[in-house]
Each structure stands twice: as C-alpha cells, then as structure tokens.
Amino acid sequence: MTSSILRTAYPRPQFVRPDWQHLNGTWEFESDDERAGDNGLWSSGQNAFSRQIPAEIRSERA
C-alpha cells in the first residue's frame, strides 16, 4: 500500500461531522515488549518513533 492509494475524503459525505478527524496516512510506531512507553509517556506525542506503517481506516460496510 502506498500513500497515493490512501483515501483522503470523508468516507460517507452524507454524514459529515464538524469534529471528524482523518486518520489515513503513515503512522509512526515502536514495538514495546518491555512497556517502556508507559513510563516514557510515549502517548504525549512528543516522541519520534523508528518504524512506520501506512494506515487506511475504512468505514463499516453493511
């Protein structure tokens, strides 16, 4: 998957919400088997991570 195929539009335009946040794109992450992120406050958003993964969040399909 490349970033050129990730969707950029709201998945269901008829249900647009003003506070909707687009989550598609490249996400940084780190493996944390030792749970160092709990003490290191990784969730604060201040840390740079060494790995990346392309993510596409799809809306539910009936």
Domain boundary assignment for the chain: 21-62
Strand (E) or helix (H) holding 38: helix 36-40
Q: Which two tokens stand for residue 23?
A: 């989550």
Evaluate whether 25 touches 3 at the Cβ level (below 8 Å): yes
Residue 62 has pLDDT above 60, yes or no: no
pLDDT reported for residue 6? 56
Model confidence, pTM: 0.54
User: Residue 19 and residue 22: Cα distance in Å, rounded?
Assistant: 10
Residue 28 has pLDDT above 70, yes or no: yes
